[in-house]
Structure 1
Amino acid sequence: MTGAALAVTSPVHVTQARQLAGRAARSAGLPDSVAERVALATSELASNLVKYATGGLLVVMPSEDRLDVIATDRGPGIEHVPQSMRDGYSTTGTLGIGLGGIRRTADEFDIFSRYGEGTTVLARWRNTTRTAAWSSDVGIGAALLPAPGETTCGDSWAVANADGVTTVALSDGLGHGPDAAAASRSAMAHVTADPAAPPSALVSAMDADMGPRRGATVAVAQFNHARSTVLFCGVGNSTVRLVRGDGSHETLVSTPGIVGRRQRSGRRPLPLARPWDHRSFLVMHTDGVSERWSPAEQSDAFDHDPATVAGWLLGKYGRHRDDACVVVVSGSGST
């Protein structure tokens, strides 16, 4: 799946953010009246980034049945979140619809903030005429950011559901720009074409089909709802962390290599099977996001929507010099 992101640091970016979200809303098939609400809320989110935040980033993520708009920053954070939701609340004396207005404008709303560190806000609009690409047994959220100077992200992700399993995949095309994006699209197409295939078979098919395109690193996780398991297979340097309901966590290790070149090296991807339940989280991200974060230190973030978690990790740990993509899966099935 694709998305778009915009660094928001000056007033001119507010207009750009509004236009970006408006186009995405119309492309997602949302009615004109809803698209206007999306644009209004996005303008307020972007304005807040300019007025209050440092390192502001606005992410627009469409999927089959919804549109997510995520605003994330690196500080200073909100000291009293409930107070900030009140109508008319402002620390600068300016007028706007505020966070409370955004919450009423959106179909779903979430906010996570740490005072002194930063804030992530999620506003979501549903398209009730379309069906989600995944089972209701899992919740999924994502956020991505193109490399500086690029309008196309070379990282991508995919999700599809069939025969009682939901398969989620992440791809990082080598380099960045349109050629990297083409490599990622080629890899992710195999997931949507055959979501019930075992992850190791999907990776092998991606490898064989890459042809003259640039290679990619990939991570594939398949959730079997009847068996309460997740099966993982990856190639390359993606970071994948499983967070269990009891607070314990594990890094799922990929096979070294690059899809599209691995066959010549003789390496084979190694599948891993782990228990999965309604309290579990799986986080996958490309190397455009630093792996120097601990699930234990982010435990309060995991009380939130997967898309909020994805936006928080991208905003706080994104390197901002390469393509970046974060995909978060929860076992709650709430999104």
Structure 2
Amino acid sequence: MDLTLYSALTQVVALEDETQVGEARRTAQKLAELAGFDTHDCGRVALVATELASNTLKHAGHGHLHLRALPALAGIELIAVDRGPGFDLHDCLPDGVSTRGTQGIGLGALLRQSEVFDVYADARGSVVLVRLFAKRERGSDWPVGISQHSLHDDPACGDAWQICRHGSLLSALVVDGLGHGPEAELAAQAGCKAFTRAPHGNPALLFDDMHQAMNGTRGGAVAVAQFDAHDGKLRFTGIGNIGACLVSPDKSRGMASHPGIVGAQFRRAQTFDFPHAAGQLLILFSDGLQSRWNLLDYPGLVHRHPAVIATVLHRDFCRGRDDVTVLVIALEAPDV
């Protein structure tokens, strides 16, 4: 099956008091309506947003609700993020159990309503993921996660990303236009447009095309990762300071980029091969995220949904002085 996810900012609703539960519900329902959900499925999205927002305020006191449409999957993603005391998932899932003296119906209700449900909680806080798919087009999930935020919530973002799947081939792009704001966004979008024409093509030719497309803009850093599930090999090509790594349950390997600016000047793009990448996590991130983090410092996080992983990394390592993109993909072996 061919699937493509196109660059889009994560929508964020701050959760500071009970009055913002209604805002979270309305924002989520509007997103579902724009995604073409019918009345019943819009109601499910609204219910989930209400439960996530309410639970965040009850057990953490404050936090955020992250929302994203997933058009290629006919889905909506909702993620509650906080820095509260955390909780034991197995204790909280049964109805009637609460760590805050409430009725304890939240997590159980979320599990019943959702097609995808996952949680990570420790002393640093909690991340609760729910994905819902439109009933008329309900299908399987795609193990990818994206957290993308512009500096100061600017509507223009200098980061852009794209993920394309064609049969056994998967290709992922992250572009960081120099600086931030509208001019950086123009550079990043020019790179994305060129990538769209041949995402699975020869990396050297692909970078030449993106270089030509970004010429005349500010230019930027670009990373492309291409994975073939048939042989399990990953090819990585990077120019500039896009961070990249492969993570397994017991180790993490960084992937090197070369200096330069796509759209301005760089030496010919060099591709590095990583065999036996199936079963590992691919993580790409712009320099709005700190680079000194280790996923293995979070026990069990490597086994969680990629959307949970991307959100935890953004929560704990966002620099707060630039646009930031975190892209996480579980590289799956082909179905037997």
Band of TM-score, shorter chain? 0.7 to 0.9
Q: 1:324 to 1:40 in 2, by over 3 A?
A: same
The structure 2 residue matched to 1:209, chosen from 205, 209, 213, is 213
Give the drift of 1:7.
5.2
Partner of 1:255: 258
Partner of 1:90: 98
Matches of 2:188 and 2:20 in 1, distance apart? 28
The structure 1 residue matched to 2:12, chosen from 6, 10, 15, is 6
Give the drift of 1:46.
2.2
Give the drift of 1:333.
6.6
Q: Which moved more, 1:224-233 or 1:144-153?
A: 144-153
Q: 1:24 to 1:333 in 2, by over 3 A?
A: farther
Q: 1:59 to 1:179 in 2, by over 3 A?
A: farther
The aligned amino acid for 2:83 is R
Give SS of 2:321's match. Answer: coil
Give SS of 2:68's match. Answer: strand
The structure 2 residue matched to 1:74, chosen from 83, 90, 93, is 83
Give SS of 2:201's match. Answer: coil
Q: 1:259 to 1:51 in 2, by over 3 A?
A: farther
Q: Which moved more, 1:92-101 or 1:142-151?
A: 92-101
Gaps of 5+ in 2: 1-6
Question: In the TM superposition, what whole-angstrom CA distance separates every residue of 1:236-273 from its partner, at most 9, and x where no partner exists?
Answer: 1111111135x2221101112222112xxx42322111
The aligned amino acid for 1:307 is A
Question: In the TM superposition, what whole-angstrom CA distance separates every residue of 1:51-103 from its partner, at most 9, and x where no partner exists?
Answer: 3337723222222112221222233222x221122223334444585111111
> Any residues of structure 2 matched to 1:1-335 within 5 Å, and which?
1-6=7-12, 8-11=14-17, 12-53=19-60, 56-63=63-70, 64-65=72-73, 66-78=75-87, 80-94=88-102, 97-114=105-122, 116-127=123-134, 139-162=143-166, 164-244=168-248, 247-262=250-265, 266-298=266-298, 300-332=300-332
Q: 1:330 to 1:214 in 2, by over 3 A?
A: same
Q: 1:5 to 1:221 in 2, by over 3 A?
A: same
Give the drift of 1:122.
0.7
Matches of 1:101 and 1:216 in 2, distance apart? 44
Q: Matched residue pairs, number?
A: 325
Q: 1:163 to 1:295 in 2, by over 3 A?
A: same
Matches of 1:146 and 1:250 in 2, distance apart? 28
CA-based RMSD: 2.7
Give SS of 1:16's match. Answer: helix
TM-score by length of 2: 0.87
Matches of 2:167 and 2:205 in 1, distance apart? 16
Q: 1:163 to 1:85 in 2, by over 3 A?
A: closer
TM-score by length of 1: 0.87
Q: 1:282 to 1:213 in 2, by over 3 A?
A: same
8 A Cα contact 2:247 2:281, kept in partner? yes
8 A Cα contact 2:239 2:269, kept in partner? yes
Quote the sequence identity (%): 32
Q: Which moved more, 1:21-30 or 1:64-73?
A: 21-30
Q: Which moved more, 1:91-100 or 1:61-70?
A: 91-100
8 A Cα contact 2:93 2:108, kept in partner? yes
Gaps of 5+ in 1: none
The aligned amino acid for 1:4 is T
Give SS of 2:261's match. Answer: coil
Matches of 1:181 and 1:309 in 2, distance apart? 25
Give the drift of 1:274.
0.1
